[in-house]
Structure 1
Amino acid sequence: MKKFPLLAILFSAFFIKAQEKQQNETATYKKRVLESTEVDFLMSYYAQDGDNAAVTGGVGTEELTDVTPTIVVSIPLNDDDVLSIDAGVSAYSSASSSNVNPFDGNVLANPFVASSGASESDILVTVSTNYSHSSDDRDKIWSANLAIASEYDYFSLGFGGSYTRLFNEKNTELSVKANVFLDTWKTIYPSELRDQPTFTPFNNKSRNSYSVGFDFSQILSKKLQGSLSLDFIQQQGLLSTPFQRVQFADIADVVIQEFTYADDVERLPDSRLKIAMGGRLHYYISEIFTVRTFYRYYTDDWGVKSHTTSIEIPIKITDKFTIYPSYRFYKQTAADYFAPFNQHLSTQQFYTSDYDLSDFEANQYGFGISYTDIFTKFHIWKLGLKSIDLRFRQYDRNSGLSATLFSSGFSFVVD
């Protein structure tokens, strides 16, 4: 009979231990941040034209085309960690940049005609990686990123990270991000200035950019979500583009064939502080309609101030198809150093005729359609099709620049 209390104690201990193990297994179960490897194939085609090319001093063709294929692979390393690799190639052809040397083609030198020289086209290669880690309760997320970009006259190395904290049963989100980009130029000057003894080349051929951003997001109700953002960017180094011409009003023009020689290249301060603040509101009207609005105010110490507003209205046509009509308006003031073709003075310290730094307004109209299948029924080899996204955007400035962008994205899940 004395054995029964001992057996009871041993049985109780075993039962308690088994119960604790079961509770621990239940407590440690968590949904993976990313269930399976995902592969995105992206493609965009961009075309623009206008009559204010900075390469030729603010007049001339701005015709440019750019094709950018990109692949993004997101890999779940475990329940909490995801590694993403983004690789892309941007292949462009530019009539304006061909006029860095307007006399190396087979046509009469003219700012409105491409010279068809070696600088007419180029390829930019970019590769970036991002590693993110989520806490067990998914309330804390931190990430680190590294990026490299290279083309024939430019190399960039970037790195940074972010931290996100969720509160209030994940209804409130705060995040901070920081990035550094270290860029190096191969300075290429307009052909007529390269052997000119009075021309002063740039000594500094590097440009460093440092950015810090803060984001706040809040679910305000079952149908309304809002967010606020604040970004600071400090740039230092060579912020001028070495092959963009400037002609002075107080110096007699030198015209060869139909081309006006540069008196100098664009010269801008070696530092620039940019500040941008904005907000978003997303309102769920019904199962069919949603409204997404955005506003941003931007200012910098070069005198540029801008306002951006946009609206997008996703319309769910069926369970799998959604269309996206959108509109964006942009307005900015001119930089302190901007003047049109042949209106700068040689006594000025800084000057540019780049119309990206001019006073202008722009409208952008967009339309998109997306297909989503969460069950990935359609397969190509081991890739299950998750979604297709097709977009069109038309951009027009009141300065005459017009641009068209077609983009597509195909998202797959690896079985």
Structure 2
Amino acid sequence: MIWHKLVTLRGYMLIPIQQLIPSWLTSSIIFPFLISRFSLITVGYFCQYIHKNNNYPENIIVEQGWFFSPHRILDIWGRWDTGWYIDIIQKGYEVKGDIHTISSNIAFFPLYPHIVKYSSFLLPELLRTRENIFLVGVLLSNIMFVFALILLYKLIMLRFNDMNVAERTVLYLLIFPTSFFFSCFYTESAFLLISVGCFYAAHKSAWLVSSILGGLLALCRPLGLLIIIPLIFMYLKSINWQINRIQWKSLYFLLIPMAFFSFLLSVYHLTNNLFAPMEIQQAWDRNFSLPWITLANPSMDLGYITNIDRIFTIAFILLIIISVINLKSITYSIYSFIFLLPPLCTGTLISMSRYVLIIFPVFISMSFLGKKKTIDQFFTIMFLSLQSLLMISWSQFYWVA
């Protein structure tokens, strides 16, 4: 084959294309990504012809048929919280009243909207419209998702050295029922990319890099601050828990809380309340509750959506327990529990089917379970069926997560 040979052109040696683009990158990530996103676009586009419910949340949106773009193929990637992020980009942070009763955009952390904002500066000023900013955000989400899949693949190969497990993990993430959020104007793709990057850097003992990424994660969502727990655990494990071997480089981890509190201080002047971005969650009816009470009797019960969120939550609790055995990694178990437990303490199950997306160790564990053909078939068929259902609901302006 011609690609197996080096070609000389004007004295320059050209690298074979296989060395530029590894086969696993195209076959295990790029092609599955493109196929899955094309399938979602197809579902989202054609479901507009399904009979509409007369009880939509916003009648004006139902009448015009879109939220952020009149182009259906683009608009299906933005709903609900997308509006808050665009509001931050266009107006900055602002408070509209009592933070405990009136929602405002300070509940949403700055990393993702600022990445979109500064990326949109590449456009001429006349083209920085709401719709084009939305387009930039959607493109960035997809780009970050692809890089997250690549990094996750490499992390699995580094940690478990099993190509089949890596490929199935990528596939399960792509076909998971709420996977379409990775392509939406939401923070899921950024959070997944950075959190996987934290672990990859930590496995390489690149503590400065992992701490910087941890700081970015703390600016992505409030729970991002908790990444400091598994990172410190990995560091102590790397020195065999010998306290006398702790080096000054351990101070890098302070970058994570510093980043977190830098945002709190930046919006302090709006409320004179340092923890306003967390307390404002009460405006969405999120109040402290014991996890089992939240599961049994959640507030903001949305019928079938709450039942779906309950099923996902229970399933992930069981899968996390299974992953302790499958992955034989206390660190991954810690990560999984700390990103599942806090939302369960808010009294509501709203968005749990989306929140579990970033718990990547569970997807790795599912991939180990998927070595059995019947289990793999079960995951694949169930995921694809539910993904179609939820994508239709999402595209048609129903609340999903």
**Common fold, TM-score beyond 0.5?**
no
User: Which of the two has greater strand per residue?
Assistant: 1
| TM-score for the superposition, normalised by structure 1 | 0.24
User: Which of the two has greater helix per residue?
Assistant: 2
| TM-score for the superposition, normalised by structure 2 | 0.24
